C-alpha cells in the first residue's frame, strides 16, 4: 500500500466537562470502541494505536484497548504531541491520521475519502476537513505526514502541543496544507461528545440507528426531521483552540 498510514486515537479519562466520556457505553460498545471501529472500517489504515496518558486514571483506557485488541501507547497527560510522536515511534508509518476518542459518530467513508485525497496529491504535509469547516464537529478527519509531525514536535509550544497538528495549519508558510470541504455545508450540526447535552444527542442517535457507523448523509437526513434532537446540544459552546 502506498503511503503507510497509522491511525492514532487520543483518549483519556480526564475531561473538564465530561469525565470518563470515552468509556461511556453506547448500544453495548464504548465511545472509544465506536471510534476504533469506524477508523478500522475505513480500510485505509495499516495500523491503529490509542495514545493515552500515564495517569493512573487511564489504566481503564488501556484495559479497554486490551479488550478491543487494539495497540496502545502511554505518554504525558497534557503534552499530547509527545504522546503522538511516541506512538509513531512504536508504530512507524509514512503518515498519521489523527482521531479523538470523543467522536463516536465518525464516518468511515469520510476517513477513506480524506486518505484518498492525501494519497492522490504527493508532497502534501497536512490535509484536514476542518480548515474550512463544512462537516459537523465530531466528524472531522486529518492526516499529517510523519516528517511534518516530527517537525511540528520540534517547533510547537504551549497550546499547540495539546492540539497536536495546529502548529502545522497555523503556519502554511512552512507546511503544504490542504483543506477538504464536503458539500452541502453541515457545519451547524454538533456531533462531538464534550458535555452532558452532547451525550443526550448521542444516545438519541444510537437509540434510533443501533450499534452501527452511520454515513453522514443518512444521519443528517434523519436529524433534519428531528428538531428536538438537534436542539439538545445546540447551545453548547465549543472551546477555543487556546483553551486546551
43-60 burial, b if ≥16 CB within 10 A, otherwise e? ebbebbbbbbbeeeebee
Q: What percent of the chain has pLDDT over 90?
A: 72
For residue 43, what pLDDT is reported? 96
Residue 156 and residue 55: Cα distance in Å, rounded? Answer: 23
pLDDT band (50, 70, 90) for residue 239 = low
Average pLDDT estimate for 207-230: 95
For residue 30, what pLDDT is reported? 96
In the three-class reduction of DSSP (H, G, I as helix; E, B as strand; rest coil), residue 238 is classed as: coil
State yes or no: pLDDT of 243 exceeds 50. no
pLDDT, tens digit, for every residue of 123-176?
Answer: 999 999 988 889 999 999 999 999 988 988 787 667 766 677 777 888 888 989
Residue 205 and residue 3: Cα distance in Å, rounded? Answer: 35
pLDDT band (50, 70, 90) for residue 244 = very low
pLDDT, tens digit, for every residue of 185-201?
Answer: 999 999 999 999 999 99
pLDDT band (50, 70, 90) for residue 1 = very low
pTM over 0.95: no
For residue 167, what pLDDT is reported? 76
Better-scored residue on pLDDT, 62 or 165: 62
Closest CA to 127 of 140, 137, 114, 139: 114
For residue 120, what pLDDT is reported? 93
Structural contact between residues 166 and 241, judged by C-beta atoms closer than 8 angstroms: yes
In the three-class reduction of DSSP (H, G, I as helix; E, B as strand; rest coil), residue 53 is classed as: strand
For residue 177, what pLDDT is reported? 92
Backbone angles phi, psi at 51, to 5 degrees: -100, 105
pLDDT, tens digit, for every residue of 223-236?
Answer: 999 999 999 998 88
State yes or no: pLDDT of 217 exceeds 90. yes
Q: What is the mean pLDDT of the chain?
A: 90
pLDDT, tens digit, for every residue of 32-44?
Answer: 999 999 999 999 9
Q: What percent of the chain has pLDDT over 70?
A: 94
Residue 95 and residue 49: Cα distance in Å, rounded? Answer: 13
Closest CA to 33 of 60, 57, 73: 60
State yes or no: pLDDT of 60 exceeds 80. yes
For residue 124, what pLDDT is reported? 94
For residue 53, what pLDDT is reported? 92
Average pLDDT estimate for 63-88: 92
Structural contact between residues 5 and 97, judged by C-beta atoms closer than 8 angstroms: yes
Amino acid at each position: 500500500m502506498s503511503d503507510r498510514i497509522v491511525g492514532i486515537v487520543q483518549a483519556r479519562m480526564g475531561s473538564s466537562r465530561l469525565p470518563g466520556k470515552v468509556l461511556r457505553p453506547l448500544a453495548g460498545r464504548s465511545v472509544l470502541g465506536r471510534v476504533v471501529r469506524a477508523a478500522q472500517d475505513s480500510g485505509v489504515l495499516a495500523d491503529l494505536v490509542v495514545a493515552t496518558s500515564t495517569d493512573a486514571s487511564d489504566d481503564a483506557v488501556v484495559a479497554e484497548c486490551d479488550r478491543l485488541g487494539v495497540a496502545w501507547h502511554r505518554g504525558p497527560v497534557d503534552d499530547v504531541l509527545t504522546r503522538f510522536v511516541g506512538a509513531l515511534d512504536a508504530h512507524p508509518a509514512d503518515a498519521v491520521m489523527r482521531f479523538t476518542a470523543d467522536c463516536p459518530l465518525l464516518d468511515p467513508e469520510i476517513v477513506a475519502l480524506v486518505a484518498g485525497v492525501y494519497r492522490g496529491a504527493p508532497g502534501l504535509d497536512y490535509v484536514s476537513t476542518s480548515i474550512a469547516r463544512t462537516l459537523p464537529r465530531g466528524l472531522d478527519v486529518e492526516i499529517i505526514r510523519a516528517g511534518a509531525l516530527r517537525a511540528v514536535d520540534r517547533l510547537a509550544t504551549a497550546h499547540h502541543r495539546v492540539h497536536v497538528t495546529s502548529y502545522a495549519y497555523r503556519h502554511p508558510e512552512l507546511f503544504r496544507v490542504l483543506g477538504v470541504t464536503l458539500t452541502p455545508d453541515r457545519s451547524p450540526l454538533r456531533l462531538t461528545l464534550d458535555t452532558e447535552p452532547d451525550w443526550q444527542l448521542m444516545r438519541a442517535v444510537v437509540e434510533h440507528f443501533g450499534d452501527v457507523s452511520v454515513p453522514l448523509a443518512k444521519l443528517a437526513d434523519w436529524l433534519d426531521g428531528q428538531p428536538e434532537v438537534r436542539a439538545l446540544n445546540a447551545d453548547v459552546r465549543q472551546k477555543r483552540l487556546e483553551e486546551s
